[in-house]
Amino acid sequence: MDVTPAAVADERDRIRDDDAVVALINDVRARLGPAFGVEVDPVGAERYREAVDAVFADGDRAVNVAALSMLLRELDCAGDYPGFVVDEFLGRKLAATVAGGQPLALLAEATFHVADVHVHGDEGDAAGDDDRLAALAAGFQTRLPGWEWTETASPFAVDPG
């Protein structure tokens, strides 16, 4: 695998144009909202594409997101189980990297498992490709607006005065 600026741009385009991620983001939000007793706004394709552009505008984050996505897209293992730990690990890291710093990174890692349970690759896809899709959905749904608690000030902020 050769990770060059051109390869990162190609991976951005691939991720940006993947409407399956948007559908999975909304599926995850539809599952999580009721579990937490809240309404969560769905995400439209344009909002998703803007978030992809923002992630890839940060070159340090872009190269890591692209490399993790590229690894997962190609990762395969006979019988899948021996590769299970690797694709789960890479999927969690991809979700966290997309989401940003803490605490969103941890939330994205947890959300990855919710998404991953509901994603199944197509026949002939590499074993890691469904983890890639779940990771992208978990990371972007975490960083995108729509959760009321992320849009208000934290009650735990301490006044510096």
* Residue 94 and residue 36 in contact, taking contact as beta carbons nearer than 8 Å: no
Instruction: Look at residue 54 and tell me whether its pLDDT is greater than 70.
Output: yes
Read off the pLDDT of residues 89-119 as tens digits, 9 standing for 90 and up.
Answer: 999 999 999 999 999 999 999 999 999 888 7
Cis geometry, peptide bond prior to residue 42 (ω within 30 degrees of 0): no
Q: What is the reported pLDDT for 12?
A: 98
Residues contacting 29, CB < 8 A, separation 6+: 40, 41, 42, 43, 141, 146
Q: In which band, very low, low, confident or very high, does the pLDDT at 68 lie, cut at 50, 70 and 90? A: very high
Q: What is the reported pLDDT for 29?
A: 94
pTM for the whole thing? 0.90
Picking from 41, 58, 57, 47, the residue whose alpha carbon sits closest to that of residue 21 is 47
Q: Tell me yes or no: is domain 5-145 CATH 1.10.3760.
A: yes
Instruction: Look at residue 80 and tell me whether its pLDDT is greater than 70.
Output: no
Q: What is the reported pLDDT for 122?
A: 66
Measure the CA dihedral 15/21/99/156, to 10°: 160
Instruction: Look at residue 83 and tell me whether its pLDDT is greater than 70.
Output: no
Q: What is the reported pLDDT for 50?
A: 97
Instruction: Look at residue 124 and tell me whether its pLDDT is greater than 70.
Output: no
Long-range CB contacts for residues 71-77, cutoff 8 Å, separation at least 24: 71/1, 71/128, 72/126, 72/128, 72/129, 72/131, 72/132, 72/135, 73/126, 73/128, 73/129, 73/132, 74/1, 74/126, 74/128, 75/126, 75/127, 75/128, 75/129, 75/131, 76/126, 76/127, 76/128, 77/127
